[in-house]
Chain A
Amino acid sequence: MTQAARAYSYFPGCTLATTAVDYDLSGRAVAAALGLELNEVPDWNCCGATFPLSAENVMSFIAPARVLIAAERSGHDLATLCAVCFHVLKRSDAYLRAHSEAAERLNAFVTEGDYTGQTRVRHLLGVVRDDVGWEAVKQRVAAPLTGLAAAPYYGCLLLRPQEEMEFDQAERPRVLQDLLRVLGATPVEFPRQAECCGSTLVVSAPDANRRLSTAVVDSARRAGAAMIVTACPLCKYNLDQAQAGRPSPEQLPVAYFTQVMAAAFGMLQVAGPAFAVEAAT
């Protein structure tokens, strides 16, 4: 490992700084294990949590633009773990690149510098696939997850719109399956792997939200999965909540892909409760 570390500007976002600290910790740990240097964006703010779909509201791009500008100034690609932050930042970047008059208006309101479209927004899973490569990940595996039937759950925001997200195929994504195979696990294909968990309806329409989350969990269970793997804190929350009332043998643990990587790398201290159980049995 004489190769110089690859450096990225890293945006944790509100959720990873608070209710999903386990995602942040496992992400930083596996990134370090793979020789990735994550430099947290200085003085970062919330990305806005929802991509502004209304064209007339340029001001709602200020929050993501400020993060993009900070990354630009660092000179590195901007990496995130939260699927929502990735979606908002990536699409805001695409929008501002394509609408120079909107970028110009924004620049008048941000004092730290100008948005010039010089950074590239990446999800850490994409960084692992494209910059590190599966072969290098495989070399880091210390405890292959042999026999683990894991359902790769993508949800929505990582994938769609496919042309803007530039991440994977919207209907037939592969990256989580490829990762799981490299880690020694057995990916379990299931019908709802790219269907919605209910998203923010957990706040505005909880019953509908629960119906969707339950359908995702049951779809994975029927396909024979022993675990669900996700890259989104809101998906994890919704899928966990959908199973909250069930007897524990009937619950499918939901783990972040970074926790699954940590388990395979032998870093059990950040692998989370799903693997603590495995280790104990």
Chain B
Amino acid sequence: MRVVLDPLALHGAFIREIEAISEQNLLACNQCGRCSAGCPLVEEMDLLPNQIIRLAQLGLDTVVDSTTPWMCAACLMCEARCPKGVDLPRIMDALRQIALRRGESRVVAGDVDPALLAGAPQMAIVGALRRGEK
């Protein structure tokens, strides 16, 4: 993967936006990788959780198009294991917010499987829509 570093992006609006929404310091991460080692959903992701942070540290806003934030279940295993106190689920939520503001809903109420509506716990439906609907 070719990464072009832009000095302006390193101090740019994208990093400020993530940090403002998530209240997290991206540069606190030193890439130890414990988040990705403990994440139960890495197999489903196109970028590892620690890679998301690294690319975001460099101001590369292509991470918004990654599948990773959408496969994050906010189980908080990474939060529990981060030695630097980075709350990665908050960063994932910030990326979902930014993606939703730029594009389309990822979960649409009208498209939810009727079998789920009939049997699944209400909070699963409400929670999924609050995370993924614009």
Contact = CB atoms under 8 A, between A and B. Distances in A.
Interface stretch (B29-37, B57-65, B68-76): B68-76
Given A55-B23, A208-B44, A212-B41, A49 B76 contact: no
Given A85-B123, A199-B74, A203-B124, A54 B40 contact: no
Interface of B: 20-23, 40-41, 43-44, 70-71, 73-77, 79-80, 87, 89-90, 92-94, 97, 106-107, 112-113, 116, 119-132
Q: List 6 tightest A-B contacts by C-beta distance, closest first.
A: A196-B75, A203-B128, A53-B93, A160-B76, A49-B126, A49-B123
Contacts of B126: 14, 46, 48-50
Chain A interface: which size bin?
35 or more
Interface of A: 13-15, 18-20, 46, 48-50, 53-56, 60, 82, 84-85, 155-157, 159-162, 170-171, 195-196, 198-206, 208, 211-212, 215, 233-234, 237
Contacts of A203: 107, 112-113, 116, 120, 124-125, 128-129
Contacts, number: 139
Nearest to B80: A170
Given A53-B89, A54-B94, A234 B77 contact: no
A54 B77 contact: no
For A161, A205, A206, A215, the residue with the greatest tally of chain B CB atoms inside 10 Å of its CB is: A205
Given A15-B121, A19-B119, 20 more contacts: A18-B122, A19-B122, A46-B122, A48-B126, A50-B130, A50-B131, A155-B75, A156-B74, A156-B76, A196-B77, A200-B73, A200-B131, A202-B120, A203-B128, A205-B44, A212-B41, A215-B40, A233-B121, A234-B124, A237-B120
